[in-house]
Chains A and B, each alone.
Chain A
Amino acid sequence: MTFVACFKRTLVAVALIIAPQAYAELVIEDAWVRAVPPNSRTTAAYFTVRNTGAEEQTIAAVRSDSAREAEIHDWVEAGGRKQMVRQDQVVVPAGGQVVLQSGGLHMMMFRLDPVPAPGDKVLLCIDTEAAVEGQPAGESATEVCAEATVRHP
């Protein structure tokens, strides 16, 4: 990791600690990123989002420091074809959880930059506010982030 990247990550970590906690009822657990070949443009990330609060929460955007674009997808089967369909909103019920896993809901990471290698740590963020064009991961006040390990399934 470069010094700048490390410094930015430290800032994010500090910001997370001192930011208001309204959205922080969401907790990301068991986050991991699928290791893919070094010339890949995309990969997928998986985690569980737990809502520890008494109110329903909605994930409206996802971001990563390793991908130019990120979306939550689900698989839909129709006409003998399986298709990944972008989910603009994912509701996490009060006291409940949503599981992102292979073959189901997943976080899709487009245009990897750089392509993370097995063992690398990647920052993943979920946001209760809709995406803002070009906003880097970890800089929204309504975001919850976690470090995910890149690994083979």
Chain B
Amino acid sequence: MNVAVGRITAIFTLFALSLLLPACSEPRTELPVNTRLGGDFSMVDQDGKPFGPADLQGKLSLMFFGFTQCPDICPATLARTVGVWKELTERQREQVQVVFVSFDPQRDTPAYLKEYLAFFDPGVIGLTGSAEQVASMARGYGVVYLQEDTQPGREQDYLFSHSDFVYLLDQQGRVRKLFKSDFDGEELINDVRSLL
């Protein structure tokens, strides 16, 4: 009897150890902290509430900048980013937020963003602000954008040219990695999990 229990214990111990082995043989490479990007900013969210760097603390953030009248890349990036977020377990999802920052405050008001973003997921945070506030935040994250000229009579159809990176921020709001807007979903989800 005792021998059998001892044997089972030994087998179980070996099994438990074997679970630890892969972790030992493949040390996880930490994502470096990007100290050049970020900094202070002052915006409002889709409910009109102030949103600053403190609101990026405590959760991972998948953040990117765009404008809602951009119909090709922006909604695709938004849909794919929300898609990655939805692939996480429910517990992981509670620790990750998706943040969309608009550099078109004239059209993307908080109320407009709230309705727009709910189409993708009501949990998505939308940030906007005055033209100066938006410019300041964009500068901090190295985002470049420019309102392009329109044809005569088509002023309301103005578009922006812009950089299109997706930022992975850690629980301290520090930038840990930049992704191209056509990012590999697998890579992004692995990097997200590595920080949880």
Query: Quick check: is B15 within 8 A (CB to CB) of the other chain?
Result: no
A78 shortest CB reach to chain B, Å: 8
Are A44 and B71 CB-contacts (below 8 A) given A69-B154, A81-B146, A81-B162?
yes
Are A37 and B116 CB-contacts (below 8 A) given A42-B71, A82-B164, A102-B72?
yes
Query: Quick check: is A79 within 8 A (CB to CB) of the other chain?
Result: yes
Name B102-155 residues within 8 Å CB distance of A. Answer: 107, 112, 115-120, 144-146, 148, 154
Contact with B along A52-77 (1 / 0, CB 8 A): 00000000000000000100010100
Interface size class of A (residues with CB under 8 A): 20 to 34
Query: Quick check: is A2 within 8 A (CB to CB) of the other chain?
Result: no
Name A32-52 residues within 8 Å CB distance of B. Answer: 34, 36-44
- Of B18-26, B53-61, B73-81, the one with at least 4 CB within 8 A of chain A: B73-81
A40 and B156 CA atoms in complex are apart in Å by: 13
A39 and B120 CA atoms in complex are apart in Å by: 13
Query: Quick check: is B94 within 8 A (CB to CB) of the other chain?
Result: no
A75 and B118 CA atoms in complex are apart in Å by: 27
- Of A8-16, A23-31, A105-113, A119-127, the one with at least 4 CB within 8 A of chain B: A105-113
Q: Give the nearest-CB partner of A76 in chain B.
A: B161
Query: Quick check: is B184 within 8 A (CB to CB) of the other chain?
Result: no
Q: Give the nearest-CB partner of B145 in chain A.
A: A81
Query: Quick check: is B157 within 8 A (CB to CB) of the other chain?
Result: yes
B64 shortest CB reach to chain A, Å: 13
Please determine whether A34 and B75 come into contact, CB atoms closer than 8 angstroms: yes
Please determine whether B76 and A153 come into contact, CB atoms closer than 8 angstroms: yes
Please determine whether B145 and A152 come into contact, CB atoms closer than 8 angstroms: no
Are A79 and B72 CB-contacts (below 8 A) given A36-B119, A37-B115, A103-B182?
no
B151 shortest CB reach to chain A, Å: 8
Please determine whether A44 and B72 come into contact, CB atoms closer than 8 angstroms: yes
B169 shortest CB reach to chain A, Å: 20
Q: Give the nearest-CB partner of B119 in chain A.
A: A37
A105 shortest CB reach to chain B, Å: 10
With a cutoff of 8 Å between Cβ atoms, the chain B residues found around residue A82 in the complex are: 73, 161-164
B159 CB contact (under 8 Å) in A44, A69, A84, A102: A84
Query: Quick check: is A20 within 8 A (CB to CB) of the other chain?
Result: no
Name B156-183 residues within 8 Å CB distance of A. Answer: 156-157, 159, 161-164, 182
A27 shortest CB reach to chain B, Å: 23
Query: Quick check: is B13 within 8 A (CB to CB) of the other chain?
Result: no
Please determine whether A80 and B119 come into contact, CB atoms closer than 8 angstroms: no
Please determine whether B146 and A40 come into contact, CB atoms closer than 8 angstroms: no
A103 and B73 CA atoms in complex are apart in Å by: 6
B108 shortest CB reach to chain A, Å: 11
Name A87-127 residues within 8 Å CB distance of B. Answer: 102-103, 106, 108-111
A38 and B119 CA atoms in complex are apart in Å by: 8
Chain A interface (Cβ within 8 Å of chain B)?
A: 34, 36-44, 69, 73, 75, 78-84, 102-103, 106, 108-111, 152-153
